Structure 1
């Protein structure tokens, strides 16, 4: 038995593990950015609330307190929109990196599968033409399905990204 096939399996497993760890790293980087953003927003909110309470308590006039509350609603809404925009940017960045890695992995798998079928065709014993034709047909069908699914997924992601 040839050691080529086991070595190819080891190489494929190593490549898959490197991809997995790379994607996991990207997800954690995105999570770290979200945590940092939330800490930053929380600190700013605490400071702002402290200032607001201090000013409200020092005024002593109930009318002034109500006017102060009304004046704070517009900046709060703007901050909420800015926060949502930053969260969206972080998530889109992570999603695009994962999508790019998945596309590259899918293309690599297609190349390897095509090479396998070509190698099988070259080294096939006489009389196995129908089996080789079946493999080629299955590979072609799988490749077409993958390309269609990939195209549909990209269209879906682009529509979801534009809606938000």
Structure 2
């Protein structure tokens, strides 16, 4: 099998397009996280100012303790909501990256299969065993990748379910 310059150029172009698509998705996620962090910081600052005013207006130590203890639950809820949003942004970015990886793996599998077919057409007599071994190795690698991919997706689904349960449990309190 010979590689033509056009094939190489097409592969390079596809790689560059994929790189920029992944980079754009990464920057979109960074922007979302930055926006979330800015909003969270503004909210925390406003909450601190409000709490300071309440604390300064407390008539005695008991009132001060009541004010301070009354902020624990809302603060925990906000932290959980923040964590959930970070998790959602992260899993969304991961899902997008997985789409690119899966597409690339599918493309590479097709290309390897084509190379093996081309090699088998031009292979010397007696190399059938070696080619069968290569085909088997590729099939086993693809099967292992599929299994790992499914396991990773299940782990993400379980983690999402656990985060959702934690949010619901906190809101119920």
**CA distance, structure 2, for counterparts of residue 135 and residue 24 of structure 1:** 38
The structural deviation recorded for 1:132 is 6.2
- Alpha carbons of structure 1 residues 69 and 86: separation in structure 2 relative to 1, 3 Å: same
Q: Of 122, 142, 145, which aligns to 1:146?
A: 142
Normalized against structure 1, the TM-score is what? 0.85
Q: Which runs of 5+ in 2 are unaligned?
A: 163-173
**CA distance, structure 1, for counterparts of residue 14 and residue 148 of structure 2:** 26
Residue 159 of structure 1 is matched in structure 2 by 155
**CA distance, structure 1, for counterparts of residue 125 and residue 33 of structure 2:** 56
Say if 1:110 and 1:143, in contact at 8 Å, map to a contact too.
Answer: no
Deviates more, 1:113-122 or 1:87-96: 113-122
Residue 64 of structure 1 is matched in structure 2 by 63
Residue 5 of structure 2 is matched in structure 1 by 6
Residue 80 of structure 2 is matched in structure 1 by 81
Residue 170 of structure 2 is matched in structure 1 by none
Cα-Cα RMSD: 2.2
**CA distance, structure 1, for counterparts of residue 72 and residue 92 of structure 2:** 30
Q: Which runs of 5+ in 1 are unaligned?
A: none
Q: How many residues align?
A: 160
